[in-house]
Structure 1
């Protein structure tokens, strides 16, 4: 007598109760991630007034979270690879919620800088651990949808932050905006406490004596060196992003890059050029997306002359487009393949980038439509990024590999506003944003379309890497 094997889930409705519950817990945590991260951008002028800072000095507080993101991705990713995805998810949400709450108690520039760095530690760990948890809990046939649906939470969190700003700050001041971010943490911790561990990690890594990220980074002879290296890199990044480096900035940047490459070599061995190529891909992705995210409000207010309510509405539609695009990207990725869907989304986004910044003032409704479409295709397609990166690493190294490479590349988000304003001094802000977004979109499309990181891996003889599994695309 033969028994048929259970049907493989093909849609969200056919997932098991445990799989859906795990997704909801990860989705809510990522929503809080988006909520907490953008709070600082909404109250910079208030903070500058209270702490007697120039706006340019206050703006460095936005970059403070980027100083620590790489470390959060590496450390919490290593915990996820060694002890499981669930403990790392819990630590991540505690870290960024604690950091956000502490921001409300800050008393000067440097205390707020440190608390924002704690936020960065948590949000980096949230990205790596939650994305790997959902991917490794869902069937392989649905893993693009897993990451696309998950990342739709981030822009919804930013939209909720904007609405909270409207309600909270006029009544209670900027500090209460950070206190509010702590409220949903109890629910998220409760949901995550009872989750099962990710099935793939449980099957391939748990209870086995295999090399994971922790055994690589904390092996005898490397432990002290890596702690010193991490401390030195963090100090250099603080000096760079707090604008304390002066004329030494180029030399310090070279030292930082060398430190990141050294960590990449330890994580990936002889495949370290593949990991560096992934970092470059993510860096370019942030350079095409973050000038718009960080400078779009300034463009709408200063160049087009829209009042704050119109700007808020425009950003809301942009955020909703981002969320809808992430879900659509996941569906397309499972239908067309990760790389094909990614490149298609990027190329379609070029149709909308230039009209957005050529549109004259007064066309409010059309601006909403164009922003929705542009963010759905350019930002939304990045919902495939965790799947794309994660495919390059084996399960035992995936959380740290994904968290580290993504969050090193995310430093492009700190460079992007500087690049945008620098080009704007010569071409104007609208032209600068369209040029950066258009040119870097093409660069990322070429890197992903020609599968550059995986080609490097195969050229180096990646026999134990999951990269060859991706050839079906």
Structure 2
């Protein structure tokens, strides 16, 4: 997992730089097509080493998608619409998670190809997204900046030289901001992965649910995520980015007891909905928060790299919970017999509560450029 996320960070750097230098459109199209090809290739692997090699290659493409998509979606919108757009954009993650859960629930068990059919389906979805992006024009802001540079007589070589110099200048001036963004995204990724990755295992091992009910509860949680993210993005336009994040993280923490204490399906599913409503609600503000704090001209590279490096730091979240479950046990009645099982409920509750406190702290001490007119800033290739 850590290796895959490290490769994703490399992909974020490569495709982010290409996007900030050469435009949003074709680097993102190439990203999505590579995702499609590698997803298809994954379905044919026969060994773990093959799987690891293919998924590492997939990480290069996937690492660049978020930053490119975020900058493309937000920079051409009016300031008044960016909060809502941020929430809708980020919930593409939750929607994809939901679609995968539905496919895993209904498609995978019904075909002799089992898990391979899941990768075939996602390969088609990625190819479709690449086709749609190829048909949509290049970012108007990027085209305008290129036209201005062309009018000044700047050659391609000169613009590339300027871009390289700007990268060095940006790191020299904004290194503290870069470190802050990585810590912020580490906290956010711990918050999301810590509440999602081991959740089906927690329901099956600690609550004695079957696979069907564990997947259904996951789907319900993602419905809460989509609702919370869209709502929080809109609210942030009126009360600010940081305050919205803090309120929704507090909300997710308040529902931790409902998320871990009950034993019945309906109450636990309600807890999943409420916790993900808060977690992904806070996440819904992140695309616009990072875009507004980004150094001028680096709205694809800065958010994408910060996101993926933070994701890499949080890659051990599931392992932390699994190790905690190995050391902390509880007893449940399973098939009429008292059975000792990992106490994932307590472990996840402690982890989520700790990370929620960290996210609130790191958000409070950080910057906010609410309403920034970043579309007026020069591109990184402009002298």
**TM-score scaled by length of structure 1:** 0.69
CA RMSD of aligned residues (A): 2.8
1:230-277 CA distances to partner (integer Å, 9 max, x unpaired)? xxxxxxxxxxxxxxxxxxxxxxxxxxxxxxxxxx97752232121011
Residue 293 of structure 2 is aligned with which of 388, 392, 400? 392
1:341 is matched with: 244
Higher RCO (C-alpha under 8 Å, 6+ residues apart): 2
Cα shift at 1:184: 3.0
Structure 2 residue 286 is matched with structure 1 residue 413 = no
Moved more, 163-172 or 375-384: 163-172
2:216 is matched with: 313
| Secondary structure of 1:304 counterpart | coil
1:118 is matched with: 57
Cα shift at 1:337: 1.3
| Secondary structure of 1:391 counterpart | helix
1:119-146 CA distances to partner (integer Å, 9 max, x unpaired)? 2222221100011001101111221211
Structure 2 residue 323 is matched with structure 1 residue 447 = no
1:189 is matched with: 130
Hey, what's the Cα distance between the residues in 1 that align with 2:196 and 2:323? 16
Cα shift at 1:382: 0.4
Hey, what's the Cα distance between the residues in 2 that align with 1:335 and 1:70? 33
Hey, what's the Cα distance between the residues in 1 that align with 2:135 and 2:3? 33
Hey, what's the Cα distance between the residues in 1 that align with 2:361 and 2:160? 34
Where does 1:47-446 land on structure 2 (aligned, <5 Å)? 62-170=1-109, 171=111, 172-204=113-145, 208=149, 215=161, 267-359=170-262, 361=263, 363-427=264-328, 428-446=343-361
Hey, what's the Cα distance between the residues in 2 that align with 1:368 and 1:265? 49
Q: Is the 8 A contact 2:259 2:268 kept in 1?
A: yes
Hey, what's the Cα distance between the residues in 2 that align with 1:366 and 1:155? 21
- TM-aligned CA distance change 1:286 to 1:214, over 3 Å: farther
Cα shift at 1:342: 1.0
| Secondary structure of 2:123 counterpart | coil
Cα shift at 1:180: 2.0
Q: Is the 8 A contact 1:314 1:371 kept in 2?
A: yes
- TM-aligned CA distance change 1:160 to 1:397, over 3 Å: same
Hey, what's the Cα distance between the residues in 2 that align with 1:173 and 1:416? 27
| Secondary structure of 1:410 counterpart | helix
Hey, what's the Cα distance between the residues in 1 that align with 2:297 and 2:208? 52
- Any unmatched runs of 5+ in structure 2? 329-342, 378-383
- TM-aligned CA distance change 1:454 to 1:337, over 3 Å: closer
Hey, what's the Cα distance between the residues in 2 that align with 1:178 and 1:83? 31
1:46-79 CA distances to partner (integer Å, 9 max, x unpaired)? xxxxxxxxxxxxxxxx555313110111111111
Moved more, 309-318 or 116-125: 116-125
Cα shift at 1:326: 1.1
**TM-score scaled by length of structure 2:** 0.84
- Any unmatched runs of 5+ in structure 1? 1-61, 220-263, 456-463, 468-473
| Secondary structure of 1:196 counterpart | coil
Q: Is the 8 A contact 2:87 2:232 kept in 1?
A: yes
Q: Is the 8 A contact 1:205 1:396 kept in 2?
A: no
Hey, what's the Cα distance between the residues in 1 that align with 2:292 and 2:100? 32
Q: Is the 8 A contact 1:346 1:381 kept in 2?
A: yes
Where does 1:18-57 land on structure 2 (aligned, <5 Å)? none
Moved more, 276-285 or 426-435: 426-435
Hey, what's the Cα distance between the residues in 1 that align with 2:281 and 2:160? 33
1:313-333 CA distances to partner (integer Å, 9 max, x unpaired)? 100001111111111111111
Q: Is the 8 A contact 1:201 1:396 kept in 2?
A: no
Count of equivalent residues: 351
Hey, what's the Cα distance between the residues in 1 that align with 2:211 and 2:220? 14
Hey, what's the Cα distance between the residues in 2 that align with 1:367 and 1:74? 40
Hey, what's the Cα distance between the residues in 2 that align with 1:185 and 1:164? 15
